[in-house]
Structure 1
Amino acid sequence: MKKIYLIVGILFILMIMVVIAIGLLLVPSSDNILNFKSEGNIAVINIDNELVLKNSGSSGLFGNNNPDVNDYIGALNDAENNPNIKAILLKVNCPGGEVIASEKLARKVKEVSKKKPVVAYIETLGASGAYMTIAPANYIVAEKHSIVGSIGVRMDVIHYYGLMKKLGINATVIKAGKYKDIGSPYRPMTPEEKACLEKMINETYMDFVKWVAENRHMTINETLKAANGRIYSGSDAKKVGLVDAVGTEEDAINITAKIANISNPKTEEYTPSKPAGIFSMMSNMVYDLGYGIGKGFGETEKSNIGMYYE
């Protein structure tokens, strides 16, 4: 019996060693990355995922993590600092995301657009926070039947006190501070609390409207007419001033080249991707464990509340 345990243990160790070796092979070296980004003059960054400040989720043992906003900002920095890159094309298929994440990326796009031409191409979806992000671009192209707009802010507050009552579950909240448990799932929201949250939402919404108006060279009234949460097709978005042209990806590349005075456009992939492999997964596990423990000790019911541009 001891021999069987020994054999199983050895096989397990060998399996772990094989997994680690494969993981090392899958992680690209920095030299490869530098060599890869050496020939193009238009950097292409695909914004495909929900905009979040931190995304550690992995698609599997050897899968890549989805980029978060800091990854996109890093890609923009790389393109901005590469003298061979003359312009940047943002290829957008994104529904929006967290308020702060969207605002951070939007500010970076505006910063870069003052130094190098930035063109946004909405392929299928450029809505809410994603639209906020590309509003400062020097030019926006959208597919005719893409979805554009949805300018607004949403806050979800989940209540399950009714279900708890049916199940005979009671929760006691001990608090100091009148609004400390605002948005609590354990009780109905008071009119005063709802008014407080609505004020936050309206302030955030008006900041969104002003951002679009400023960067799309529209008046506040023009923007408010388009910014009622409605989604538009690419062609309708052009009519209300949210995009500059209706066209294809090829059109977007040609427009980018024209704005940047590039006679022979060559695109270069700058979309960020986090390293694949066992080490990436293990580092994420350690981070999430620490984050989870810390969050557990510092948990408040405000985790029930979140604002989103989506």
Structure 2
Amino acid sequence: MNRKKWVALLIILVVFIAGLLVETVSDTNARLADHPGISWEENIVSGSGTGKIVQLFVSGVISGEPSAAGAPSMSEVLAEQLRRVEEDPSVKALVLRINSPGGEVVATDELHTRLLRLKQVRRIPIVVSMGSTAASGGYYLATAGDAIFANPNTLTGSLGVIFNLLNYSEAANKLGVHQFAIKSGRFKDIGSPFRPLTTPERQIFQSLVNESYQKFVDVIVKGRNLSRQRVLEIADGRVYSGEQAKRLGLIDQFGDLEEATRYALSLSGEREATVVRYTDQLSLSKLLFSLKQHLANPDPLGLSRSLERQSSPQLLYQFMP
């Protein structure tokens, strides 16, 4: 048997064993805690003491959608990490490092609610550390913090909501492509890309955007202790630098993650504490699960998922230049 056949046989054997082992794990979709993609080790970053300061990271677009490889969504992972913080009595403060342009309205609001619940249930301080970008939904999450640190060059703001609709009616007409919608009500095919948007339809979508926008304004008013009129003046969708945001009262101090962590310690009431992070725990089951998902995935590049998002409009708290 030549070398190529041996390699092919080895791959088949690995896939077969992976399938057997993964199936022995209880249904990965049934309970989040059993998902091989959600398992962490608690790594010490610095410090000492029985009390802990946890650093959590919000990186990339905030979404409730699983990845193309079937891994848990960002919101699932963060929600589970926040649950772990909530259930650990030794955690005395939380530092939330945000490097995100924002994302889905629902996923963002759910995470914000979890952060507020953590403060109410555990009474632990939350300090936000902004990275290079903490805009729109990223800022929405930041309003849950007791203090917000940023770099003078951080890109933040973009306070508002966007709802994109793709329309190719003119191109379809030129190509002779037509869609006939047999519908039960006047607005059942609202937003169809095969025809222009009508004025009543635009008003309906605008009302949805306005509702989400008002919620955004509410969390800024409450979280930053600003007047509603002042928030309405600055929440026009534009982006701000860290320098501008500080002048507007959107952030509190300039500083990096380390400085934000030291400030969290000062709020915790502890003289010293151990700074920890939750990092991915490498395990055989996780590796095998990833392999199985990759091999079983008909769309490894996520192209079809991207097209689905394009054709399924969503309300977004997201900076989209």
Class of the TM-score when normalised by the shorter of the 2 chains: 0.7 to 0.9
Cα distance in 2 for partners of 1:285, 1:14 equals 13
Identity %: 27
1:187-242 deviations in Å (ceiling 9; x for gaps): 00111111111111112111110111011111101111221111111121111111
Q: Which residue of 1 aligns with 2:12?
A: 13
Question: Which of these residues, 144, 147, 153, is aligned with residue 152 of structure 2?
Answer: 144
Q: Aligned pairs, how many?
A: 292
> 1:69-80 residue pairs with structure 2 within 5 A?
69-80=75-86
8 Å contact kept, 1:67–1:273: no
Cα distance in 1 for partners of 2:103, 2:119 equals 22
8 Å contact kept, 1:67–1:274: no
TM-score in terms of structure 2 length? 0.78
Counterpart residue identity of residue 94, structure 1: S
Gaps of 5+ in 1: 59-63, 290-294
Cα distance in 2 for partners of 1:121, 1:98 equals 21
Q: Which residue of 2 aligns with 1:172?
A: 180
Cα distance in 1 for partners of 2:263, 2:5 equals 66
Does 1:218 find its partner at 2:226? Answer: yes
Q: Secondary structure at the match of 1:270?
A: strand
* RMSD over equivalenced CA pairs, Å: 3.8
Structure 2 CA distance for partners of 1:98 and 1:285, relative to 1, 3 Å: farther
Counterpart residue identity of residue 109, structure 2: E
Does 1:104 find its partner at 2:110? Answer: yes
8 Å contact kept, 1:79–1:270: no
Does 1:45 find its partner at 2:56? Answer: yes
Q: Which residue of 2 aligns with 1:251?
A: 259
Deviates more, 1:234-243 or 1:271-280: 271-280
Gaps of 5+ in 2: 25-35, 300-304
> 1:1-310 residue pairs with structure 2 within 5 A?
10-16=9-15, 33=41, 41-58=52-69, 65=71, 67-114=73-120, 115-270=123-278, 276-280=286-290, 282=292, 303-310=311-318
Structure 2 CA distance for partners of 1:19 and 1:208, relative to 1, 3 Å: same
Structure 2 CA distance for partners of 1:48 and 1:11, relative to 1, 3 Å: closer
Structure 2 CA distance for partners of 1:144 and 1:66, relative to 1, 3 Å: farther
8 Å contact kept, 2:93–2:126: yes
TM-score in terms of structure 1 length? 0.81
Q: Which residue of 2 aligns with 1:292?
A: none
Residue 270 of structure 1: how far off its partner (Å): 2.5
